[in-house]
Structure 1
Amino acid sequence: MRKISLFICSALMVGLVSCEKELDQAPLSDASAANFYRDAADFEQAVNGIYAQLRPYPDRHFNLSEVRSDNMYATTEIGVREHEPINNFVNTLETNSLVISAWNENFNGIMRANTVLDRLNASVVPDDAQRNRFEGEARFLRALYYFDLVRLYGKVPVYDASVSPAEALEVPRSPVAEVYSLIVSDLNTAIEMLPPSHGAVNRGRATSWAAKSLLALVHLTRSAPTYGIEGPGLDVNEYAEALTLLNDVINNGPYAWVEDYSSIFDYNNENNPDIVFDIQFLSGGLGTGGTYPGTMAPNSYFNAVGIPFPAGLETKPLSSDLIETFAPEDERLGVAVQQGFTDEFGNSDPRPFFRKFLDEDDYGLDRFDWGINFPIIRYTDVLMMKAEAILQGAPGTQEEVDEIINMARVRAGLEPVSGVTLDMYLEERRREFAGEGHRWHDLVRTGQVIEEMNEWLPTEDTRNVMPETLDPNYIIYPIPFSQLQVKEGLYEQNPGY
């Protein structure tokens, strides 16, 4: 089946790339785009360009969620890789390339969505269904990019339309509640405008079910405690709203339970019934391959298995605490983690790494070109979020929670349990979604991040590179230094940095 092309070769992209060079400041409008949006084919291409900005999403959440969390102790004796300050909770991250890229990449996606929304009208796309789909996709993606930003940085500037460079310099960071207002509005509109499914030629595009699932996650995240900071939690108790959406997806959506855990991530079983929304990748040197499977394993492993790479990234070891949370018989451990390997010189390397998305027989040109899709929302996640909503106070029973958790446990080859608590739920999510970029967000959303990390630090930080204890300021990242320099006083840095 044809996947959505992540990169579009056209005059539009030339204009967008030239504009993005200025995005160290803010998302700007593209004056040359006015001559491009002439018919439905142009808008199809432009919407594909919004999807294209999802390419770095898996790497971003690996570095800023997995590496940040208790799933990884991603530090080495070298101490020079950009992910290590993320791992080590240093307070000078405003110049870190990963923090900067996350800001720019998300705002580039927002800029593209705004450009489409500003120019979309019935005169250029007369077909109502097609025009609604374009608008629904643009709003869904804009909401996703803003949700990414609010979880990472807290307050951010809100652009609900294209702006000129001069106008951008007058837009301050908006309160988190205002950012969420746009996210919720966009997703509600997307739910109304997006179709419930797409034909094979458009497989991978957002659907109304994906929008409902994402909105449920937004409600859960908004309901998190504030921790006394201007972060993603507003303590608004919207668990019932989340549950209503999740029940709709579960009861009426086209998804189904996949009995074989490993098959969910099989290169030959993409778009299986567990996938609600994912990022579509194609390998083969087209610029549409995923880079993330090649960043999770050490250089020496790829050397040993004969996969070439143009540049090197040191390994990002998993924490011993994560490995120990898996029972020996848990089938998810072997799918998600490789525990050591033999290097090209015959030496044994015991370091564990994530391999959930790695198939050594199915790569493109090198270790940064993989065709495996990356799931953003899975049906298993929808079910587990229902359990979370009930545990947090939404109407429901303990039996419903236990049933959902035991579905995942039995699939993994484990015995069922009863009386599932929030702590038990989080540990089950940790094993189920290991390597999928959820862990830090899960801890923050459920109010457990400070307690959990402060219990973990003394036993795992064997190199003494982390703070003795974490305070809530570490929950979000700093505003990139380049943004603070655009206009004096426009933005204030997040506390703690």
Structure 2
Amino acid sequence: MKFKNIKYTIAVLAIMQVTVSCKKDFLELTPRGTALEGNFYKTEEEVYQGLIAAYDVMQWGTSGGYTMKMPLLTAASDDSYAGGSSPSDQPNWVAYDNFKMDSRLGPQVGLWSKSYTGINRANLLLSKMEGNTALSAAFKDRVTAEAKFIRAYFYFDLVRLFGRVPLITKVLPTSELYTQQQSAPAEIYAQIEKDLKEAYPALPAPVAAAEKGRVSQGAAKALLGKVLLYTNDNAKIAEAATLLREVNSNYGYALLGSFAAIFDPNNKFSSESILEIPHSNNAAWGDWGWVNGGEGNVAPQYVGADSYKGPVYSNGWGFCPITESLVDFMKNDPRFQYTIIDGKALKAEGATYTARYQNTDYFIKKYAPVAAVRATSGTAELNWPINEIEIRLADTYLMEAEALVRSGGDVTRAKTMLDLVRGRMNLGSVAPTLDNIYNERRMELATEGHRFFDLVRTNRAVAVLGPVGYTANRSEYLPIPQGEIDITKNAIKQNPGYN
């Protein structure tokens, strides 16, 4: 998914009527104007545009408020605070940071609507390909696989964020829009597993260079391995280890020699990247009212130091200041300098910035607003061309190691995986215990949005986050958006512990 000025709009039925806007670079198309959904999806070109509409939602970070996954989930963990100018700047973030969400306060509206928009677009695409004789078999198989991957991707977000959610695998008629009820997490996981197992055989390994951003077989297996790990079912965890070994051994991925190179915005889709969500400043977007219409990543603007003046970086808004906990945890690790910006050191070198709410003088570096790539057209704050790396090889190495240890598998192989991650940083070998693997995950993947879910799924969240407000049987899930409960007249039920 690289980007260019390609735009089209089709009317689609989700939980509400929505329009879609896409500007994608791996499609060499010209602008197409407007078409009704009923007259669309007739040709491969139109189906391809529908596919891009589904992919497009993965980029969104501003549905129902600013809900960019990487910084938001970092704020929910012990890696950073919420930050901003004050507690009232982004109260939904502050509520997630201290686990004081309720049915109307928190990031749930944006995360819910984003995921169901993506699911609806995938469902619509799948329905339109049924019986379409204008599509070649190879084209149809691949697009079907991609649509199922996208649906699985969004359901994985939903089940981790909300637990019980409506399971929708078809385009709903109007009469069924407001009668949907929630399915148990086990049912959601079963559907995700089914979609991914049906998807990966038809996906390429790897994708062509001109199609970077489309999912590969390796990405589908990596996501499936991660999903199975999250089920906490020992049999499935053993299967996860097998899948992750295939990802780590058979698809040509390789750890980069330089840790810093992973997050260099000029080094997109590196050999270490397995699932990467692209962003671009080509659209020169400037519409604050519909930020998702552009292709830029707003997260770097969020996490940069406020009113910063100095070398390397651009000014940001001061969200997600790094916690003292993470600083202390990483201070003796060589990855610290590539993960965390030391504001005091910058000031000592002559830089200036404004301390904001919850300031610690430490900031996220992996996705910082690097001045060299700041957009020169449109609204720069909306157009950061910095990709989001959702899954990378060091992550799958550590997941395989964990899955092997938890399922009683090959401990020697688990040690090899752990040592490979540490070896890049010239760190010595450690025993492949779960504690060592979990510590390595925090060190290696800090501020990338993994930590909160890692704590929840391994039953460590109460011990780690309890002092800042996390409570068992409540805080692991967000509240269901009150609007969904109201519009369905209580067919959809609120999660326990929320009012």
- Residue type at the aligned position of 1:353: F
Given that 1:282 and 1:289 are in contact with CA atoms closer than 8 Å, whether structure 2 keeps it comes out as yes
Give CA-to-partner distance per residue, 1:61-84, whole Å, 9 cap, x none.
Answer: 235421111112335783112311
Structure 1 residue 166: Cα displacement: 2.2
Q: C-alpha separation between the residues in 2 aligned to 1:280 and 1:345?
A: 30
Give the structure 2 partner of residue 230 of structure 1.
Answer: none
User: In the alignment, is the contact (CA less than 8 A) between 2:310 and 2:352 conserved in 1?
Assistant: no
Q: 1:255 aligns with which of 253, 256, 263?
A: 253
Quickly say closer, same or farther: Cα 1:271–1:13, change in 2 above 3 A: farther
Aligned to 2:300: 293
Structure 1 position 118 matched with structure 2 position 127: yes
CA distance in 2, matches of 1:6, 1:173: 39
Question: AA paired with 2:491?
Answer: L
Q: Distance in 1 between matches of 2:99 and 2:167?
A: 27
Q: Is the 8 A contact 2:312 2:372 kept in 1?
A: no
- CA spacing shift, 1:4–1:306, aligned 2, 3 Å: closer
- Map residues 121-140 of structure 1 onto 2, 5 A cutoff: 121=130, 123-140=132-149
Residue aligning to 1:462:
none
Q: Which residue identity lines up with residue 252 of structure 1 in the other structure?
A: N
Report what 2:225 is aligned to.
216
In structure 1, how many angstroms separate the alpha carbons of the residues matched to 2:14 and 2:422? 46
Shift of 1:245: 0.6
For the structure 1 residues 345 and 377, does the alpha-carbon distance in structure 2 shift closer, same or farther, using more than 3 Å as the test? closer
Q: Return the match for 1:275 from 267, 273, 276.
A: 273
Q: What does the per-residue CA deviation read over 1:88-117, in whole Å, with 9 as the maximum and x for residues that have no partner?
A: 11042x223621100000000001001100
1:392 paired with 2:390, answer no
Q: Could you say which residue in structure 1 is the equivalent of 2:203?
A: 194
**CA 1:34–1:447 in structure 2 vs 1: closer, same or farther (change >3 Å)?**
same
TM-score normalised by structure 2 residue count: 0.85
How far off its partner does 1:214 sit? 0.5
Deviates more, 1:293-302 or 1:210-219: 293-302
Q: How far apart are residue 430 of structure 1 and its match? A: 0.8
Against the structure 1 CA distance between its residues 17 and 494, is the aligned structure 2 distance closer, same or farther, given a 3 Å change threshold? closer
Measure how far apart 1:47 and its partner are: 0.4
Question: What secondary structure is seen at the aligned counterpart in 1 of 2:389?
Answer: strand
What's 2:44 paired with?
A: 40
Find the counterpart in structure 2 of residue 376 from structure 1: 390
Aligned CA distance change for structure 1 residues 7 and 494 (closer, same or farther; 3 Å):
farther
Q: CA 1:243–1:429 in structure 2 vs 1: closer, same or farther (change >3 Å)?
A: same
2:290 corresponds to which residue?
Answer: none
Code of the aligned partner of 1:257: L
The aligned counterpart of 1:25 is none
Q: Identify the residue that residue 435 of structure 2 maps to in structure 1.
A: 423
Give me the whole-angstrom Cα distance separating, in 2, the residues matched to 1:323 and 1:357. 17
How far 1:431 sits from its partner (Å)? 1.5
Point out where structure 1 has 5 or more consecutive residues left out of the alignment. Answer: 22-30, 224-234, 458-465
Between the aligned partners of 1:171 and 1:356, the Cα distance in structure 2 is 40
Report the counterpart of residue 423 of structure 2 in structure 1. 410
Partner-residue secondary structure (3-state), 2:107? helix
Aligned residue number for residue 448 of structure 1: 460
Question: Residue 279 of structure 1: CA displacement?
Answer: 0.4
1:65 is aligned, of 73, 81, 85, to 73
Q: Distance in 1 between matches of 2:208 and 2:313?
A: 38
Structure 1 position 220, deviation (Å): 0.4
CA distance in 2, matches of 1:416, 1:186: 40
Among 100, 104, 110, which residue is 2:113 paired with? 104
- The one-character-per-residue Cα deviations of 1:111-161 (angstroms, maximum 9, x if unpaired) are 100110001146354311111111011000000000000000001001100
Q: 1:193 to 1:305 in 2, by over 3 A?
A: closer
CA RMSD of aligned residues (A): 2.8
Partner SS, residue 376 of structure 1: strand
Give distance in 1, aligned partners of 2:237 and 2:164: 23
1:494 alignment counterpart: 495
Letter in 2 for 1:480: P
Moved more, 49-58 or 378-387: 49-58
Distance in 2 separating the partners of 1:14 and 1:6: 23
User: Quick one: structure 1 residues 322 and 222, their matched pair in 2 at CA, closer, same or farther if it must change by over 3 Å?
Assistant: same
Match of 2:98 among 83, 88, 92: 88
Farther off after superposition, 236-245 or 59-68? 59-68
Alignment partners' CA distance in 2, 1:307 and 1:36? 43
| Distance change in 2, residues 1:332/1:219 (3 Å) | same
Q: How does 1:238-249 map to 2 (within 5 A)?
A: 238-249=236-247
Partners of 1:243 and 1:374 in 2: CA distance: 25
CA distance in 1, matches of 2:254, 2:177: 45
Deviation at 1:304, TM superposition (A): 8.9
2:215–2:275 contact (8 Å) kept in structure 1: yes
Moved over 3 A (4+): 3-8, 13-18, 57-60, 121-125, 302-309, 341-350
Q: 2:143 aligned with 1:142, yes or no?
A: no
The structure-2 alpha-carbon separation of the partners of 1:302 and 1:189, relative to structure 1 and needing over 3 Å to count, comes to farther
Counterpart CA distance in 1 for 2:5 and 2:196 is 24
Secondary structure at the residue paired with 1:370? coil
User: What's the TM-score once normalised by structure 1's chain length?
Assistant: 0.85
Query: What's the offset of the Cα at 1:303?
Result: 9.2
- C-alpha distance in structure 2 between counterparts of 1:104 and 1:299, whole Å: 30
Note closer, same or farther for the CA distance 1:435–1:190 as it changes in structure 2 (3 Å cut): same
Q: Secondary structure at the match of 2:274?
A: strand
> What amino acid is aligned across from residue 223 of structure 2 in structure 1?
L
Counterpart residue identity of residue 187, structure 1: L
Q: Report if aligned partners of 1:325, 1:427 keep a CA contact under 8 Å in 2.
A: no
Q: Judge conservation of contact 1:187–1:211 (CA < 8 Å) in 2.
A: yes
1:267 & 1:63 partners in 2: Cα distance?
A: 17
Q: Which amino acid in the other structure matches residue 280 of structure 1?
A: P
1:300 partner SS: strand
* 8 Å CA contact retained: 2:73, 2:450: yes
Shift in Å at residue 237 of structure 1? Answer: 4.2
Q: Give 1:19 deviation, angstroms.
A: 1.6
Alignment partners' CA distance in 2, 1:154 and 1:346: 43
Structure-2 change in CA distance of 1:306 and 1:322 (3 Å): closer
Give the 3-state SS of the residue equivalent to 2:437 in structure 1: helix
Q: Deviations over 1:151-197 (max 9, x none)?
A: 00001001100012321212101111111121111101111221222
**Number of equivalences:** 458
Q: Distance in 1 between matches of 2:389 and 2:11?
A: 26
Cα 1:401–1:438, aligned 2, differ >3 Å: closer, same or farther?
same
* Residue in 2 that maps onto 1:336: 339
Q: Aligned-pair distance for 1:471?
A: 2.2
Compared with structure 1, are the counterparts of its residues 121 and 303 closer, same or farther at alpha carbon in structure 2 (3 Å cutoff)? farther
In the alignment, which residue of structure 2 is the partner of 1:229?
none
Match of residue 319 from structure 2: 315
Retained in 2: the 8 A contact 1:66–1:437?
yes
Identical counterparts, % of pairs:
28
Q: 2: CA distance between counterparts of 1:261 and 1:78? A: 34
SS at structure 2 position matched to 1:264: helix
Alpha-carbon distance in 2 for matches of 1:248, 1:6: 34
Output one character per residue of 1:27-80: Cα deviation in whole Å (capped at 9) or x when no partner.
xxxx93121111000011110011110113695323542111111233578311
TM superposition shift of 1:327:
3.9
1:354 aligns with 2:364: yes
